[in-house]
Amino acid sequence: MSKLLLSKELQARCIGIARAGLPHEACGLIGGTRPLEDDSETTWQAESIHPVRNVKMSPTTFALDGQGMIEAENRIDDAGEEVIGVWHSHPSSPAVPSTIDIEDASIYDPFAAFVHVIVSLQGFAPTIAAFSYEQREDYPLRKYWLVRLGS
Ligand SMILES: [Zn+2]
């Protein structure tokens, strides 16, 4: 199974940004180091979390602001990191990709190379889950699978 190494500090940062963005979904980029691939397994090491404005201003969907995305990419470059993924929050649904998330994944991740993180604020305590997508011919309908979180 593929894995995302996301420290407790970065998880807390994601949750903090997600709460600050309520009632809308919050979103952004994840900086880190190039994934290590071992046959079917990928390990992403997250080093930084970057908020980007959700231009949809919606509690159920998100779209990264184009200019904000460029600025986040520049900060990630300047830190000697790479963009390894996209994160967003679900204010009132589980940390599972929505149908729109699955359809939109290829906008930010055309080569199915990123890790996708969802922070759910539903329920008593926030939960975080990570997913990756399978590159398929029948784009944009792609399968996803759960990535194990580590730290
Ligand atoms: Zn979503």
Closest CA relative to residue 1, chosen from 30, 51, 53, 43:
43
Q: Report the number of distinct structural domains present in the chain.
A: 1
Would you state the structure tokens that stand for residue 6, as one six-digit string?
């996301």
- Ligand 1 centroid vs 117 CA: distance in angstroms? 9
Query: pLDDT for 44-95, tens place per residue?
Result: 999 999 999 999 999 999 999 999 999 999 999 999 999 999 999 999 999 9
Q: Which amino acid is at 8?
A: K
- Ligand 1 centroid vs 31 CA: distance in angstroms? 19
Peptide bond into 59 cis (omega under 30): no
- Ligand 1 centroid vs 34 CA: distance in angstroms? 24
Distance CA 120, CA 148 (A): 16
Q: Quote the domain boundaries for residue 117.
A: 3-150
Taking the model in full, what pTM does it have? 0.91
Would you state the structure tokens that stand for residue 46, as one six-digit string?
């997250």
Residue 102 has pLDDT above 80, yes or no: yes
What is the CATH classification number for the domain harbouring 48? Answer: 3.40.140.10
What is the phi/psi pair of residue 58, to 5°? Answer: -130, 150
Would you state the structure tokens that stand for residue 9, as one six-digit string?
């500090």
- Ligand 1 centroid vs 120 CA: distance in angstroms? 9
- Ligand 1 centroid vs 101 CA: distance in angstroms? 5
